[in-house]
Amino acid sequence: MRALSPRRYLAALALAAASVVALAWAYVALFPALYLDPEYGAWRAKERLLADCRLGQAVVVGNSRAAAGILPALLSVPATNLAVGGGEAIEALAAVRRALACPTPPRLVLIALGPGQFVQPDLFWERTVRYGFLNGAELAELASASRATGDFSVYDNGHGDGLPAALRAWLYRARFPGLSFASLTRGGLFLRAWANARTYRATLAARGQYFFGTAPGCDQVAVEGHLDAFRPLPVLDLYFDRLLALLAARGVAAAFVSMPLNDATEAAVKPEIGHAFAAYLHAYQQRYPGLRLIGAPLYGWPDALFGDAFAHLNPTGAALFSRRLARCLGPSGGACDLDWPGAAVQSAAPSAQEGA
């Protein structure tokens, strides 16, 4: 048998290596539900609800506390929960734009974001981009907004990999296999398929709601208890303004819903954090008079109603909160009360806590 020349040997080796990379890339790009963590199934369910325009009269956008704590089935109007883990105003704006493009758009948007979702990047690359929630145009919009504000805290988010930001964004969207190595390893290549399928079906059935921690109580301090100050990141402030401006321009009612903290966190929050957050929301209410603020900016509920260290309501807490929120959305909503009876409320002026 004739031996390969060194040149042909190297060419064959390069072709084999390229084939392996191509196969791995195709697997990672085409079958993310097989290896990404089970929350991916919940995000896919929300995208399906948006694509099918199964939204109802109201939609919820915001962070994981809203995703876990607001049960559409218990609200007083037909609703869908589009809040996501790590969600900030960026994800909220993307979801609302798609919702308003539906033939019958929602008439009310409930926005639920905590102070932490304004002052620091969260899981934008690990969830939003990796899960494909934003398209290329939306990522380019974030790049433009980052340049306009001089704030690249979300867009770069401390990667320090030397890659041009636009190239990194493309690699994430294209699911370059090197970026998914950790997920592939932890997910055993395909062992998360069943968990993602279950999460997808359950989230669809619950109209977008899904739980995080479900323990029968938690007294650990969440992020708000560790903040030194409330200073919104310019790029997140810009997106929050764009979200409210869009709703005002379309004549869609907007309500900011403050989710409760566990008592341990509420006790640890510096008073100036609550005052600054209240003033921030009140200033936006002045700018957009149609914005309703439901609940005091920061308030506590018993630790027994929370399921983990991130102040996610457990099933009991979520049911209680959703029933209270339902009263806020009814005809007598002006008199609704989200505070736990007898609780001390961290707030500023009463005008910043309508409904409290």
Q: What angle do CA 66, 118, 221 make, to 5 degrees?
A: 65
pLDDT at position 3 is: 60
Domain boundaries, the chain: 30-352
Longest dimension (CA), the chain: 89
Place of tokens 């072709």: 15
Do 294 and 336 meet the contact criterion of CB atoms below 8 Å apart?
yes
Using CA atoms, how far apart are residues 50 and 245, in angstroms rounded to an integer?
21
pLDDT at position 118 is: 96
pLDDT at position 332 is: 57
pLDDT at position 347 is: 44
pLDDT at position 354 is: 33
pLDDT tens-place values along the chain, 356 residues long: 556 677 776 666 677 766 666 676 666 665 677 778 779 999 999 999 999 999 999 999 999 999 999 999 999 999 999 999 999 999 999 999 999 999 999 999 999 999 999 999 888 888 898 888 999 899 999 999 999 999 999 998 766 566 777 777 777 777 766 666 566 666 666 767 888 899 999 999 999 999 999 999 999 999 999 999 999 999 999 999 999 999 999 999 999 999 999 999 999 999 999 999 999 999 999 999 999 999 899 999 999 999 999 999 999 999 999 999 999 997 655 567 788 865 444 444 333 333 32
Coil/strand/helix, residue 306: strand
Cβ burial 167-201 (10 Å sphere, 16+ → b, else e): ebbeebbebbbebbeebbeebeeeebbebbeebbe
Using CA atoms, how far apart are residues 75 and 108, in angstroms rounded to an integer?
13
pLDDT at position 346 is: 45
CA distances to 241, 248, 294, 325, 337 from 333, in Å: 25, 20, 9, 9, 9
The predicted model scores a pTM of: 0.87
pLDDT at position 5 is: 72
Place of tokens 């991916």: 40
Token pair in block for residue 68: 């876990």
